[in-house]
Amino acid sequence: MRSALIVEPAPAKLNLFLHVVGRRADGYHLLETLFAFTEAGDELSVAASDDLSLVIEGPYSQPLVAEGDNLVLRAARALAAAAGLDAPQARILLRKNLPVAAGLGGGSADAGAALRALNRLWGLDWPLERLAAIGAELGADIPACVYSRPMMGRDIGTDLAPTQLAEPLPVVLVNPGVPLVTAHVFRALAEMGQAFTPRLEAQVPAVPTLAWVAGLKNDLEEAARRCCPLLDAVEGALRLQEGVALVRMAGSGPTWFAVFRDAGCAGKAASHLRQQHPGWWVAETTVLCG
């Protein structure tokens, strides 16, 4: 076991588009999506210890502190079991910078970061593909979050193909401060009676551009609005900002993101939104291209 403190970022996940194209017999929905990751996110630190422990701190730690278990600890146990370790041993510190239940894959990103960090701490040196396979047993978004780079996702999101965006994208993330449970959004989608139809051609661009992404959509937006009417105000506020090129909901919401033509416009928009809506969480960041 390596003794040094290991710090691992847990970047926020964005679905640049999200098509719901089917449903399996077990209830999981089939997707077409483009996973991307931002500079903003949580942060996880691990160090050697005689047992397994987790401390959560940061501005959005409170909702998680009372949990008896979470994905980070489950990921640690799953990795230890796969490696044949008698018991997982690590002191884990999670700094929670992202809102909880925000559609940003925070819990999945934290679990992905835990798998990467503990892989190093325990001297396993396993490839990311092997870690992603372990993550898939814990949650459908975790494999993409293990890689934390642009990925085309199909099936339930676990059939992944690496890609690269044409350029980094300046974005502003906005969350109105209310959690939104993913299961509730999918329930609303079912009540809407949406037809499930694959909409991507067999071949997607080798390097997806913003213009190509803009021609697609997030199928969960209308269902999320039914669960949380406040989302109309978030979308509307983003569309009013100067230099905005694309506005879309992140995952199952309630966070929305806006892509801007340059970082200067993104910074001005973030400043305006904080002034106009002091109760909202607003983050200016960049979507990484590869």
159 is catalytic: no
Q: What is the pLDDT of residue 1?
A: 58
Query: Which one of 42, 96, 110, 141 is the catalytic residue?
Result: 141
- CATH number, domain at 155? 3.30.230.10
Looking at the structure, tell me whether residues 249 and 276 fall in a common domain. yes
Rounded CA gap, 228 and 126, in Å?
Answer: 42
Q: Specify the DSSP element, H or E, that contains 108.
A: helix 106-121
Q: What is the pLDDT of residue 37?
A: 98
13 is catalytic: yes
- Whole-model pTM: value is 0.95
CA 95 to chain centre: 16
Query: Which one of 13, 42, 96, 110 is the catalytic residue?
Result: 13
**1 part of a folded domain:** no
Between the alpha carbon of residue 78 and those of residues 42, 74, 116, the distances in Å are 21, 6, 13
pLDDT tens for residues 72-123? 999 999 999 999 999 899 999 999 999 999 999 999 999 999 999 999 999 9
How many domains, the chain?
2
Q: What is the pLDDT of residue 203?
A: 65
Looking at the structure, tell me whether residues 216 and 250 fall in a common domain. yes
Low-confidence ranges of the chain (pLDDT < 50): none
**272 part of a folded domain:** yes
Going by C-alpha positions, the residue among 111, 100, 102 that lies closest to residue 139 is: 111
pLDDT tens for residues 249-277? 999 999 999 999 999 999 999 999 999 99
Q: Which of 136, 162, 188 is the last residue of a domain?
A: 162
Q: Which of 105, 137, 162 is the last residue of a domain?
A: 162
Rounded CA gap, 177 and 226, in Å?
Answer: 17
Expressed as residue numbers, the domain containing 268 is: 169-287
Looking at the structure, tell me whether residues 175 and 216 fall in a common domain. yes
Q: Which of 98, 128, 162 is the last residue of a domain?
A: 162
CA 132 to chain centre: 15
Q: What is the pLDDT of residue 202?
A: 58
